[in-house]
Chain A
Amino acid sequence: DTAVSQTPKYLVTQMGNDKSIKCEQNLGHDTMYWYKQDSKKFLKIMFSYNNKELIINETVPNRFSPKSPDKAHLNLHINSLELGDSAVYFCASSRTPGTGDTGELFFGEGSRLTVL
Chain B
Amino acid sequence: GENVEQHPSTLSVQEGDSAVIKCTYSDSASNYFPWYKQELGKRPQLIIDIRSNVGEKKDQRIAVTLNKTAKHFSLHITETQPEDSAVYFCAATNQAGTALIFGKGTTLSVSS
Contact = CB atoms under 8 A, between A and B. Distances in A.
Interface of A: 33, 40-45, 48, 50, 55-56, 58, 90, 97-105, 107-110
B43 interface: yes
Given A48-B98, A101-B51, A90 B32 contact: no
A55 B98 contact: yes
Contact of B98 (A41, A42, A97, A110): A97
B97 A99 contact: yes
Chain B contact patch, size range: 20 to 34
Given A41-B104, A43-B102, A97 B97 contact: yes
The residue in B45, B46, B102 that gathers the most chain A C-beta atoms within 10 A of its C-beta is B102
B95 interface: yes
A90 B95 contact: no
B93 A100 contact: yes
Contacts of B16: none
